[in-house]
Amino acid sequence: MADLEFMKASELAPMIERKEVSPVELTERFLHRIDKLNPKLNAYLTTLETTALEQARKAEEEIVNGRYKGPLHGIPIGIKDNYKTKGIRTTGGAKIFDEYTPDVNATTIDKLDEAGGINLGKLNMHPLGAGSSGNNLDYGVSPNPWNTDHLPGGSSSASATALASGLAVLTTGTDTWGSNRIPAAMSGVYGLKPTHGLVSTHGLLPTAWSLDTAGPFARSVSDIALMLNVMAGFDSKDPQSLNIDLPDYTETLNKDIKGMKIGVPRYYLEGLAPDIETLFGKARKTLEDLGAEVREIDIPELSMASFAGQVTANGEAAAYNYSMMQKDAGQYPQDVRILLSAGTVSSTSQYLKAQQARRKLADAFQKAFEEVDVLLGPTLPITTPEIAKDETKQNLQVIQRGLPFTVPANLTGVPSLAVPMGLSSDGLPAGMQFIGSHLSEGKLMQVGSAWEDTNPISVGYAEIEGSHIPDE
């Protein structure tokens, strides 16, 4: 059966339930493709062939015997390597954790296991989540599958690479200052940064505690919703977890957006690369054609986001890594070491000012959401850069350009859904993001699904493998 590797989970699930597709055969196909393409794409740091096939055989037996668990049952999934996996190496993308094998699972891993998901392996990432370029100086870059001379984006680099190259049906990521959305934009897939506390972060290797979120990647909004249905929920092991009643996030899919009020902060229109400006202008027009009311609004507090995000993230990351940095700072990749060193010299007064700015930005967002249903802006103001020789300098540049656009959602704790926006003049994906109010993931699924139906980018087997990743 052709092109199973690029089918959506929402398409595969009913086929698996009807026993038209075997979880074992599906898993074997993905493992074969990983074996074939991973040497070029460096997406998986650890491939779990034995474990994956055991899970697939178990899923198939359950389904054959009438114990179908739901849409993720028998679906192959790639896991970002900062999710702890019991008995399985978990590096956080950094060689300082090269031999670290946890004795517990992250809560999300347990949830995906209980839903019948198949763990294909652990995915490459920017070391310790401390970067936006995705170029790993310890284990090597997992390049952009649309053009392997270009960056994948970070920190969840291979979570997007694996999807765009057909090496997983679904993947997990984490987002501290844009790490689900930036790779999604650069690789033409979908990434969600959920409301802070909606998805447990218990069992994640932390980057910055008060900003970290865990969330799904997929090739469609419907698959994002399916993943979120499993990943979301209260966890007593996570002190920041929200104890709330959860909706079915698929319920708002395929609803029109006529009359929906979409606000475009003018701050997000400054300094855009020509291709991004053109694509974003077309996207606004398309949303208006779908019946939405799109208008520009002022949120001047967005100018505080870079300062607040940088100080908060660097300071909290430095606190977590303090003892290891004191022992041997040279064990960290240079780009990560620079960010952590910046955190160690930040003063308490700077951190407090950052939290004050954070509060003002949260208040400004709350006020904006009294006037509009969602906010809209480019995910990044730049097109996907080529991989530079000076990765450390490039990582800092990508952070500086991307931070004003992505970190506001982390600072305020609100959800943000990154969607493909189209292709730049050099044929590489670009993205935009819908930002919602607290716990408005359902509304984001609604507008994201309506946008997806306009088909801004078609990721498919022939396009990716034939044009960009030759078989031989």
Give me the catalytic one of 157, 179, 200, 449. 179
Closest CA to 163 of 75, 95, 251: 75
**179 labelled catalytic:** yes
**393 labelled catalytic:** no
Task: With H, G, I as helix, E, B as strand and everything else as coil, classify residue 45.
Answer: strand
Q: How far is CA 124 from CA 46, 83, 389, 437, in A?
A: 9, 12, 20, 31
> Are 83 and 156 a contacting pair, CB within 8 Å?
no
Give me the catalytic one of 80, 111, 193, 443. 80
Number of other CB atoms surrounding residue 69 within 10 Å: 16
Transcribe 292-336 into DSSP letters. Answer: -EEEEE--GGGGGHHHHHHHHHHHHHHHHTHHHHHHHGGGS-HHH
Could you tell me the two tokens for 136?
A: 């790993």
DSSP 399: H
Give me the catalytic one of 22, 132, 133, 155. 155
Number of other CB atoms surrounding residue 338 within 10 Å: 17
The torsion angle over the Cα atoms of residues 388, 392, 393 and 399, rounded to 10 degrees, is 100
**Beta bridge partner(s), residue 214:** 174
> Are 215 and 175 a contacting pair, CB within 8 Å?
yes
> Are 156 and 175 a contacting pair, CB within 8 Å?
yes
**142 labelled catalytic:** no
Hunting for tokens 């920190």 — which residue is that?
A: 155
Which phi and psi angles does 418 have, rounded to 5°? -90, 130
Which residues are known to be catalytic?
80, 155, 179
